[in-house]
Amino acid sequence: MKTTSKNNVLIVGSGGREHALGWKIRKSKHVENVYFAPGNGGTSVNIDIDADEFRNLKLFAKEKSCLTIVGPETPLARGIVDLFFESGANIFGPTKAASNLEASKSFAKKFMNNNGIRTAQYCSFSDADSAKDYVVRQTKKLVVKADGLASGKGVFVCNTTQEALSAVDKLMTQKKFGSAGNRIIVEERLQGEEISFIGLSDGKKVIPLASSRDHKRLFDNDKGPNTGGMGCYSPAYIIDDNLHQEIMQHIMTRTVDGMRHVGTPFVGFLYAGLIIEKNTGKPYVLEYNVRMGDPECQAIIMRMKSDFFEYVDAAIDKRLESMPDIQWDDQYSVCIIMCAKGYPGNYQTGHSIRGLHSELADNVVIFHSGTRRDSKNNIFTNGGRVLGVTSLGKQLGEAISNAYSTVDKISWGNGCQYYRKDIGR
């Protein structure tokens, strides 16, 4: 560590990911205070500054001498890191230019092709008619994606030509995700198992975090619309030592080296959404994210034994090369997302949450997302994804059982909660 004094940390964001990051950072021997801006009903100490109020965030961080960690992608894509750099404030995350790996899928696709990183064949379009002409000429199943940020929901995995045409209309004509659909990507649909592979980068070196698998679809058996994530488990059992080495060498390291070579060094959480292709067993990149996943973060953080702050601090100082590998608990972790009925469409908020104060086992943590706390410390729903019930177990089945036994104790409204019942299975 560069200093023996205690540090203050500011976590920017309000989701379960941010709650989990702060929960882990608070355990560090190097940290004095953890602030959340704006935080949620499960976090403390919350600061009344939204994640898009960059100037106020910078002033607070300077006043409290905080190291700042940015949770969500939108502030990163809008340049919060650049603004902090200008004032000499410590912040962990990629610059606006480096955030294009997530903010523009067409940028990411070109980058992967230029750097020999496996990805599906694709075409990009800025008008609906051209996209539809392309779709009807294809013989393989397709995936249609918004080029810009859509909170993890702007991806349509299509089984038929008609579904792909409908996806084009939703993105480009109906503007379901606003300007994010001004440009779209139409790509070949790969078959295989999806995994999340996240690393910590200082612009020169990348240290892998534990692998995980996210369940994106709303309903059991991976049916229904895409969501921000309905649950997750770690580690992803499909990744053996050989596959891990291939992902690190041919995807993660090539990405960091490629970004540095084009003059946009990547510092932050580098998230590669991968598919292990069914026929070849080779990893392909479906998309990049430039931040921790949610709920991947919750499942991964539960298994981390090392001092997380030390690695963030080293990444900011460009000295990850001197850091040892992160140590992990041998147990499995599972995160079950409890959401408001109707999510990701229309849903109600403002319901009092029951069961949060039930006695929890030592291996269970409830991370808050869409919640708020009133002056009497009552907790209410305040979003689509409400809670992430996260547990450990010596076997995956044990972790699943531990999580669901806690989920069963929690409710709000008149049966207004919803969750998948097959996470990890």
* Strand partners for 217: 226
Torsion over CA: 338, 276, 183, 107 (sign): positive
Range of the domain at 50: 7-95
Same domain membership, residue 267 and residue 355: no
Same domain membership, residue 375 and residue 311: no
Cα–Cα distance, 387 to 335 (Å, whole number): 10
Same domain membership, residue 77 and residue 26: yes
Same domain membership, residue 86 and residue 25: yes
Cα–Cα distance, 65 to 84 (Å, whole number): 12
* Strand partners for 302: none
What is residue 3's predicted lDDT score, i.e. its pLDDT? Answer: 47
Span 214-272, pLDDT tens digits: 999 999 999 998 899 999 999 998 999 999 999 999 999 999 999 999 999 999 999 99
Asked if pLDDT for residue 413 goes beyond 60, the answer is yes
Phi/psi of residue 83, each to 5°? -65, -45
Last residue of a domain, one of 136, 155, 188: 188
Same domain membership, residue 360 and residue 261: no
Cα–Cα distance, 224 to 393 (Å, whole number): 29
Write the DSSP symbol of residue 330.
Answer: S
Same domain membership, residue 55 and residue 81: yes
The tally of domains found in the chain comes to 4
Residue 391 is assigned to a structural domain of this protein? yes
pTM for the predicted model, two decimal places: 0.94
Same domain membership, residue 230 and residue 159: no
Span 398-411, pLDDT tens digits: 999 999 999 999 99
Q: Which residues of 96-109 are buried (b: 16+ CB within 10 A; e: fewer)?
A: bbbbbbbbbbbbbb
Same domain membership, residue 156 and residue 79: no
* Domain CATH code at residue 241: 3.30.470.20
Same domain membership, residue 317 and residue 202: yes
Same domain membership, residue 240 and residue 166: no
Same domain membership, residue 348 and residue 299: no
Residue 103 is assigned to a structural domain of this protein? no
Last residue of a domain, one of 265, 291, 322: 322
Residue 1 is assigned to a structural domain of this protein? no
Peptide bond into 45 cis (omega under 30): yes
What is residue 28's predicted lDDT score, i.e. its pLDDT? Answer: 97
Per residue, what are the HEC states of 161-183?
HHHHHHHHHHHHHCCCCHHHHCC
Asked if pLDDT for residue 1 goes beyond 70, the answer is no
